[in-house]
Structure formats: C-alpha cells, structure tokens
Chains A and B, each alone.
Chain A
C-alpha cells in the first residue's frame, strides 16, 4: 500500500509537458529555403571536447556532431538539459555570428518562455569572445533561469562548433 502510494507520487512528479514546436527537418528546410544541403559531420576530437566541456560544464554527449552548411551559413541542432530534461534548439551561424535561434522541443514543465521570439532575438548577431562567452549580455527570464542558461550554453557551443568547421579562420 505504502509502495503504491510512493510509486504514485513518483509518477505524478515525473509528469511533464513535451512540446515540439518545430520539427528538426522543418527547421533545416526553413533555414535553407527548401534547398537542404547534405548533412556534414564535425568529429568531436579530444581538443574540441575539452573546449566544449568548458562551455557546457559537462562533457559533450556525442562524438559526432552533425550540421548543415550552405549559402555561407551553418545550421546546428543541439540538445542541452535545462533543469532535468533536454531542450532541443536550432542555431544558424553566419560569419561567426548567430543569425537565428529557434526552440524546437521543450520538455520541462516550467520555463518554456525561452521559445518566444522576444527572448530569442537577443541572440541575433551575438559572437563568441576569446573566453568562449557571448559578446553580449542576454537578459534572463524570471522563473526560467536554468532554461536561459542552457540556451546560452548551446548558443556558445554552436558558435564554437561553427568556428571549428572553418579551420582557416582560427587564429
């Protein structure tokens, strides 16, 4: 009886809203105006993983990161945990600057305000500084701090990964 009660409490506490706002394929199709290039791969070597870990605060989850590149821009679909569940977001990087950010899937019960364009447009034009931080301050959203932090980490990672795909631009 007690077990059932506890089990019920676990189930209730694990209920969360998974909202897919945009399918990944639709995001890529939108970015490249339906002329979708073939996906390319960035292998997360030890050196790249080390920098990625500095940005994320944990080791990157995958050894192979896919991206789409064409028309002078690259598109990245990344996952990062806000509080407990990963947020899936799409980033478009052009000339070392963020051109567009979209939240594709949000899985936490609270903090989904990070998907609003009013918040996301703050990333437009953001660049990566030498210390691997964004060159601008992103205003947070009260009650969504962890989700905002996750978005910031992904934005930095997308810019860093993009830089790694242009070895000639690296100093």
Chain B
C-alpha cells in the first residue's frame, strides 16, 4: 500500500505532465507569435496582405466592389473607400484615403493616366507606376471641379476646371488659362466622366477590391487573444492559470525530489 505522500506525489506528477502538455500548445503559440511580432520589420508582416475570404468574414470585412468607374481604351480606373485601382494595380500613394471622398475624375492623357481629387493631381503609367503627384503649389487653383483633355493639338493637353476658371497644361507643371490660350478650344475639351464598369471587368474588380489585412494585424490579434473576440481574454486567463499551476506543481515536485535525494 502506497503512502499518502507518495500518492499525492504521483497525483501531482501526473497532472503536472498533462497540464504541461496542454500548456505547451499555448506557450509554443505565444512564443512563436511573440518572436514574430518582435521582428515584424524583418519578416515584412506589416507589408504582407492576407485576403483569405473566411478570415475577412471573421473580421466582418465585406468586399466593396465599385460599380462605377472610369474606362479608358486599354483599361480602367475604379475607387472604393479603401483603395484606388488602375488596370488591376492597386495605386500606392499616400493621402489616397483622405482624397477618396473628393475624387474628381480620371482620364487617359497620352501614356499617362491622370487622376484628380479636389486638391491633388496624380499621374500614373498604365502599369500603376506613379509619375508625379502634384498639389497646391504647382496646381493653378483648387478645388479642382472637373478633369478633362484636349486632344486636338500635337500634344494632348490636360484641362482642370476650377472656380477660378479652366486651366490647361502640356506637362502638368506650367498651367495657362484655357480661354486665353485657345478661346475656341473650350468646346474641344473631353471631360472625364464616371460610367458603369462593364461586366467584363468584374473578375479583375473582385480580385482587386477583395478586403485584405496585414499579416501583422492577424498575428497581433492571435497573440493578444483578441482574434477570438470576447472569449480571447478568457482563453488567455486559462493559459495564465495553467502556467500558475505548472509553476507551483513544478516547484513542489522539485522540492520533494531534493528532500528525498540521499545525503552523502
């Protein structure tokens, strides 16, 4: 018959091992995600977008596919609250989110695609490469009301309609009042106009406008437990409780084994 002490020892060892195995899952996960978050720059976590549909639904993010946009001969431009997309390329430029409410228009201008908000003019190549971003000191007047183009001359000219009049430029830098430049040209302006995006673009639009989150956000939420909503903190409490039990039982086992070791 085993003594009470040895039965208690057996019980503690038994449960120490079981809780240890269970807690290991938590701690491995917390350690790995913690190390990853410590080296977020090296691992490019912030710059790695995750688009998995089920994950976005879990976060409550729904795709917002624009139905209206600007169609060019060889592509399109469409904008949502989240992003601007030119021919399937998400446009990388800061202040876009601030400009989303004030998008004025987009138009093909020679090799470039000009996109205007009320106080900014962006120039891109068809592949989404930014050529220039022109703001107040170089614009003739703001707010921009309409964006247009005159294709009649040798060089296509960009036209901005503002409250102070219409201005025309060959390079986006030097602007002339349109009426002084060519009094008869006012009628030759083709203004950018929003139109229904054709169905043929829907595959490209769905791909471009599906919601995404940086991997850093997901790892951070998993690490903190927020990923599991209101149950997250509870889960982390359980993990902490397991660690407390492990620590106490570990210390107890250690002390018992030290005492039982025969003295030399």
* Mutual binders A and B: yes
Name the A residues within 8 Å of B93 (CB-CB).
61
Name the A residues within 8 Å of B57 (CB-CB).
3
For B177-195 the 0/1 string (1 means CB < 8 A from A) is 0000000000000000000
For B110-146 the 0/1 string (1 means CB < 8 A from A) is 0000000000000101000111111111100000000
Query: B58 contacts A6, CB within 8 Å?
Result: yes
Given contacts A3-B59, A5-B226, A61-B93, contact A24 B131 (CB under 8 A): no
Any chain A CB within 8 A of the CB of B27? no
Instruction: Determine, out of B8-16, B227-235, B253-261, the stretch whose residues face the partner at the interface.
Output: B227-235
Query: B136 contacts A62, CB within 8 Å?
Result: no
For A2-17 the 0/1 string (1 means CB < 8 A from B) is 1111110110010000
- What total of A-B pairs shows CB separation below 8 Å? 72
Given contacts A5-B226, A6-B226, A23-B136, contact A61 B60 (CB under 8 A): no
Q: Which of A1-56 contact B (CB under 8 A)?
A: 1-7, 9-10, 13, 18, 23-25, 28, 36, 38-39, 41
Any chain B CB within 8 A of the CB of A136? no
Query: A63 contacts B130, CB within 8 Å?
Result: yes
For B196-213 the 0/1 string (1 means CB < 8 A from A) is 000000000000000001
Any chain A CB within 8 A of the CB of B61? yes
Query: A63 contacts B60, CB within 8 Å?
Result: no
Any chain A CB within 8 A of the CB of B92? yes
Name the A residues within 8 Å of B217 (CB-CB).
10, 13
Any chain B CB within 8 A of the CB of A125? no
Any chain A CB within 8 A of the CB of B245? no
Nearest-CB distance from B94 to chain A (Å)?
5
Any chain B CB within 8 A of the CB of A111? no
Name the B residues within 8 Å of A28 (CB-CB).
137
Residue of A18, A63, A84 touching B129 (CB-CB under 8 A): A63
Query: B94 contacts A66, CB within 8 Å?
Result: no
Query: B221 contacts A9, CB within 8 Å?
Result: yes
- A38 and B171 CA atoms in complex are apart in Å by 13
Residue of B60, B94, B173, B228 touching A38 (CB-CB under 8 A): B173
- A10 and B221 CA atoms in complex are apart in Å by 10
Name the A residues within 8 Å of B221 (CB-CB).
6, 9
Given contacts A2-B58, A2-B228, A84-B46, contact A61 B138 (CB under 8 A): no
Residue of A4, A7, A64, A86 touching B132 (CB-CB under 8 A): A64
Q: Smallest CB-CB separation from B98: which chain A residue?
A: A18
Any chain A CB within 8 A of the CB of B155? no
Name the B residues within 8 Å of A10 (CB-CB).
59, 213, 217
- A36 and B228 CA atoms in complex are apart in Å by 57
Any chain B CB within 8 A of the CB of A79? yes
- A109 and B171 CA atoms in complex are apart in Å by 36
- A4 and B98 CA atoms in complex are apart in Å by 23
Query: B135 contacts A66, CB within 8 Å?
Result: no
Query: B226 contacts A9, CB within 8 Å?
Result: yes
Any chain B CB within 8 A of the CB of A85? yes
- A138 and B125 CA atoms in complex are apart in Å by 37
Q: Smallest CB-CB separation from A29: which chain B residue?
A: B137
Any chain A CB within 8 A of the CB of B174? yes
Query: B130 contacts A6, CB within 8 Å?
Result: no
Q: Smallest CB-CB separation from B218: which chain A residue?
A: A6
Residue of B46, B129, B131, B229 touching A6 (CB-CB under 8 A): B229
Residue of B46, B125, B136, B174 touching A25 (CB-CB under 8 A): B136
- A45 and B150 CA atoms in complex are apart in Å by 28
Residues of B bordering A, CB below 8 Å: 46, 57-61, 92-94, 98, 123, 125, 129-138, 171, 173-174, 213, 217, 221, 226-230
New A-B pairs, 8, CB < 8 Å, besides A64-B132, A79-B94: A2-B229, A3-B61, A7-B61, A9-B221, A10-B213, A39-B137, A41-B173, A63-B125
Q: Can you report 12 A-B residue pairs in the complex whose CB atoms are below 8 A from each other?
A: A2-B60, A6-B226, A7-B61, A25-B137, A36-B137, A39-B138, A39-B173, A41-B173, A61-B92, A62-B130, A62-B132, A107-B94
